[in-house]
Amino acid sequence: MQHVDVEPVEVAPEPITTQRALEKASQHDPYVLYDGALASGDTGYRWGSAYALRTMPHSPRRRGPRGTVLGPDDADAAELLAWIARTRPWGDLAGISVERHREPTLHEHFVVGDGGNWDWWWSTVAPPRTPGEDLVVPLDDTADAQAITALNAIGNPTAESEPGTGRTELWAGIRDELDPSRVIAAAALHRSRTGHGVLTGIVVDPAHRGRGLGRAVTAALTRGCIEADGVATLGMYADNGTARSLYSSLGYRVAHEFASRAITPR
């Protein structure tokens, strides 16, 4: 049999310069519609069914621009990722996110550091009222900042709600019945890069877990967000089985299972 050399495909991704074009390239992926957005004047890229965009992290705790590569076809996504590593169209990135099963491809092109696995969830169906919602009250970002900070310290020190900074648009919380100055459950509403509601900082005092308080604040804030915006979104660490069951029961669906890693060029 005669051997035939096959010329390698030269990857030349199509630039994406508008949010509408990015939505079209993604086949109207809910993550792109409700969270991922091109910064003003920035450029995304499309290769086959894969697409990539540069984002800044939601939280100021995380520094530097990050890339996200998505799309249904593994080969297209791998070729686009390799092109990004080779050409560095956005300069040096602090990190990059890919679908979790594609994480090994990062090691082919970058020096890969720490990171995390997380899921991006969304819902357009307002959940019914749940027991305990009669205890849910609005909290004040300034007046209750110290109480919320204390709750985060014992319930989830990595919570990204950032009380007292003005970043939270709306708080839903539950106060201690014996000491109303203490907050024993809280959830925050932020805005995504596309301007849609993002639930974050869902925390319950460990001494009060098992009472359905987390479910109550999440359901109340989700319902209000969907009634106002038509959609609610959130991110969840992949190993949080309790949260997974809660969000599923409230009507949320997983759109993407991400692996996010710090990277440096080879």
Six-digit token string for 168? 């939270």
Amino acid 57: pLDDT: 72
The CATH superfamily assigned to 133-250 is Gcn5-related N-acetyltransferase (GNAT) (3.40.630.30)
Amino acid 93: pLDDT: 94
Domain boundaries, the chain: 14-117+257-265, 133-250
12-21, 32-41, 118-127, 145-154: range with lowest mean pLDDT? 32-41
Cα-only R_g, the chain = 21
pTM above 0.75, yes or no: yes
Six-digit token string for 236? 């969840």
What is the per-residue pLDDT across 47-67, written as a single tens digit (0 to 9) for each? Answer: 999 999 998 776 666 677 899
Beta-bridged to residue 171, according to DSSP, are 139, 188
Amino acid at 163: P
What is the per-residue pLDDT across 145-166, written as a single tens digit (0 to 9) for each? Answer: 999 999 999 999 999 999 999 9
Amino acid 17: pLDDT: 96
Amino acid 7: pLDDT: 45
What is the per-residue pLDDT across 172-199, written as a single tens digit (0 to 9) for each? Answer: 999 999 999 999 999 999 999 999 999 9
Residue 3 has pLDDT above 60, yes or no: no
66-70/95-99 β-pairing: parallel
CA 155/CA 136 separation, integer angstroms: 18
What is the per-residue pLDDT across 246-258, written as a single tens digit (0 to 9) for each? Answer: 999 999 999 999 9
Beta-bridged to residue 123, according to DSSP, are 232
Length of the chain: 266
CA 113/CA 256 separation, integer angstroms: 21
